[in-house]
Structure formats: structure tokens, C-alpha cells
Amino acid sequence: MSFGGSGVASWKLAKEKGERLFKAEHGGSYDVFNQRPIPEDISSYCVGDVQYLPELRNRFCTQRAYSTRSKVLNHQATLA
């Protein structure tokens, strides 16, 4: 799955539609997650999150992220 081009636009649109249904500032309610059948916009919202998690993780775990993790682990070792 690629996190570029029209995929990002579709993901953002699904996020916006879903958020309108459950965020209070948009007049929504978390009760929408208890509705059955689950509304299509909520399903798309959730699927979009899971669909892109592996690629987002890979992007986050760059050398810089590993470098930061290494620094944290080294610091923790000095505290022990």
C-alpha cells in the first residue's frame, strides 16, 4: 500500500467524514461506534487507520528514529 498521491487524499477525506460523526465540535457523538450496522463513514475511518499503519511505522522508524531510540536506551541504562 502506498501512502502517496490519491491514497492520501482519500484517507484524509475518510478521516474528515468519520470525525464529523463522532467529534463533539462537529456535532457528533462517540455513540456512533455503537450503532449497528456500523456507518460506512466510520468503517472507512477505521480501515484507513489500519490500512496505513505499516507504512507509517516504516516511515517513522527511520535512522533518526532508531538513533533517538538508541539515545533513550543509553540514557535509561545510566539511570539503572
Residue 27 gets the label, from left (phi > 0), alpha (psi -120 to 50) or beta, of left
- 1, 51 Cβ separation under 8 angstroms: yes
Q: Is residue 16 part of a domain?
A: yes
**Number of structural domains found in the chain:** 1
Question: Over the stretch 31-75, which tens digit does the pLDDT of each residue have?
Answer: 999 999 999 999 999 998 888 888 877 877 776 666 777 888 888
Residue 1 lies in a domain: no
Q: Tell me which residue range forms the domain holding 10.
A: 6-79
Asked if residue 52 is part of any domain, the answer here is yes
pLDDT at 37: 97
The answer to pTM > 0.75 is: no
